[in-house]
């Protein structure tokens, strides 16, 4: 796990839902201060945090509820944002995700937000000396150009960074809830089971019923509907 030493705090970023044919992308930002890692109870209770895709649903929900309680007790903080279908269609899913990440950071308490930069290239934090008193922003995968903040991208970061793992669990849990609600509104597509991904069941429903407003036009162009 990545430590916070030399930084004011860590911000973990992750998303859920970049690949599905329908529904929003959900982004989560989780902040942990240096004291968080000093408590033995925190280290014990966070051992099972991992990539949300590798966790059983029941265990993921338990960890989600633990984070909710920890937030109520001011032991951590987090914020979430969505990139809706309209934004994905206008900007493409990568840019829409980047925009949602910026908004999630901006929803954190003001004292936890990093100072924005206008630099156009991804900014890598390299040494403690260069980043004293700055938050350490970690995200899963590759650098996000135009995120607007210095950050460090970690391949498979949701299994290497506690803050990213927490963000992964938050984003997936919140998005799954949204897709279950969409399933109530559009029961013919089965969103509750496949969460908008292109499963055979979903493709069959699309061929039968056509697309609904929650489907992503960019993602349906290669389907013969």
How do residues 63-102 score in pLDDT, each as one tens digit?
Answer: 999 999 989 988 899 999 999 999 999 999 999 999 999 9
Q: Any residues with CB less than 8 A from the CB of 166 and at least 6 apart, and which?
A: 12, 28, 30, 32, 49, 67, 76, 78
The pLDDT of residue 55 = 86
pLDDT 10s digits, 199-213: 999 999 999 999 999
The pLDDT of residue 131 = 41
Q: How far apart are CA 47 and CA 55, in angstroms?
A: 13
Check whether domain 9-176 has CATH 3.30.1360.120, yes or no:
no
Q: How far apart are CA 189 and CA 182, in angstroms?
A: 9
């Amino acid at each position: 796990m990545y430590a916070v030493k030399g930084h004011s705090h860590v911000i973990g970023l992750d998303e859920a839902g970049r690949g599905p044919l329908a529904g929003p992308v959900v982004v989560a930002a989780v902040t942990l201060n240096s004291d968080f890692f000093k408590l033995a109870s925190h280290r014990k209770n966070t051992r099972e945090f991992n990539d949300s895709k590798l966790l059983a649903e029941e265990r993921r929900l338990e960890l989600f509820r633990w984070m909710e309680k920890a937030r109520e007790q001011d032991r951590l903080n987090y914020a979430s944002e969505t990139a809706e279908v309209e934004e994905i269609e206008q900007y493409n899913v990568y840019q829409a995700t980047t925009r949602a990440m910026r908004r999630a950071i901006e929803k954190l308490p003001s004292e936890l937000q990093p100072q924005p930069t206008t630099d156009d290239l991804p900014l890598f934090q390299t040494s403690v000396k260069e980043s004293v008193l700055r938050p350490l922003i970690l995200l899963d995968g590759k650098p996000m150009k135009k995120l607007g903040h210095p950050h460090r991208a970690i391949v498979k970061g949701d299994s290497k960074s506690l803050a990213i793992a927490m963000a992964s669990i938050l984003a997936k849990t919140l998005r799954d809830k949204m897709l279950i609600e969409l399933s109530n509104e559009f029961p013919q597509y089965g969103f509750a089971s496949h969460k908008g991904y292109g499963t055979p069941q979903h493709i069959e429903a699309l061929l039968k019923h056509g697309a609904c407003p929650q489907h992503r036009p960019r993602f349906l162009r290669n389907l013969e509907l």
